Amino acid sequence: MRIVILGAFAALYFLLMASTFNSLGQVLPMIVADLHFTWAQAGMGFTVLGIACGAASMLPAAVIRRYGVAVTLLIGMAQLIAGFVALAWMQGVAMYLLATLLLGLGFCFCGSIPAVDAIGNAFDGKRATAIGLYFTAGNVGAVIGPLMFFAIHSATGSWRLYWLVCAAGALVLGLFAAAVCGRYERRVGWCMARPTKRPCRPQAGPRAPRWRRGSSGSWSWPIPRAC
């Protein structure tokens, strides 16, 4: 199950890095030529994409604490699909900026924040290696993304079709990652309950020792007696 979780998040991050920041710069010259944007308007899309990705960075953490990683991924998947479809159908600057805003939000909700949380919980002893492999997949996607666009554009002559392919990829990989995380959460009893509710407990295993208050009023960690 751990390998499947890592593979699902690595594939999703591959798509994110391939289809957002790194591909947009390759498609922009054709968008400018077809829709008669100015380069200032085209560059504003990168600005909106980056601001949305940075300003919304606290939202996935809040959703994870309340609803879990699977729900967070579904929200991000919907944002990504809406953003890619908007890019494929856009006819003006307003739709272009809205699409980049949605992609920035989707990047946050499906990117490294839920991935590091899920991978860190799934891998106990090799977190650094697993997270390193995850980011490696993203860097590979940053290289492959522009090549994917040029291949699709060379074969079809349409830059709009590329965004529809990205939307389909977000749908498939987002659903797969959410399903894997949902199954893992149910399997290990990982409950993202609100602070006012009863906290989750492990399904099996001895109870962890608790802090104990001594006669002097100080708190100490109980040390097991030797046999």
Return per-residue pLDDT of the chain as tens, 227 residues. 789 999 999 999 999 999 998 899 899 999 999 999 999 999 999 899 999 998 998 999 999 988 889 999 999 999 999 999 999 999 999 999 999 999 999 999 999 999 998 998 888 778 888 999 999 999 999 999 999 999 999 999 899 999 999 999 999 999 999 999 888 777 776 544 344 444 444 445 555 444 444 554 544 444 444 43
Whether 200 and 191 have beta carbons less than 8 Å apart is answered as: yes
Residue 18: the pLDDT is 94
211 half-sphere exposure, CB direction, 13 A CA radius: 5
Residue 175: the pLDDT is 96
Per the DSSP assignment, residues forming a β-bridge with 213 are: 219
Residue 123: the pLDDT is 85
Per the DSSP assignment, residues forming a β-bridge with 212 are: 220
Residue 7: the pLDDT is 93
Which residues have C-beta within 8 Å of that of residue 113, sequence separation ≥ 6?
A: 57, 60, 61, 64
Strand positions, DSSP E, the chain: 212-213, 219-220
Residue 227: the pLDDT is 38
Name the DSSP letter for residue 206. Answer: P
Please give the Cα distance from 97 to 120 (Å, whole number).
Answer: 34
Residue 210: the pLDDT is 44
Please give the Cα distance from 82 to 111 (Å, whole number).
Answer: 16
The structure's pTM equals 0.79
Three-state DSSP string of 54-91: HHCCHHHHHHHHHHCHHHHHHHHHHHHHHHHHHHHHCC
Per the DSSP assignment, residues forming a β-bridge with 220 are: 212
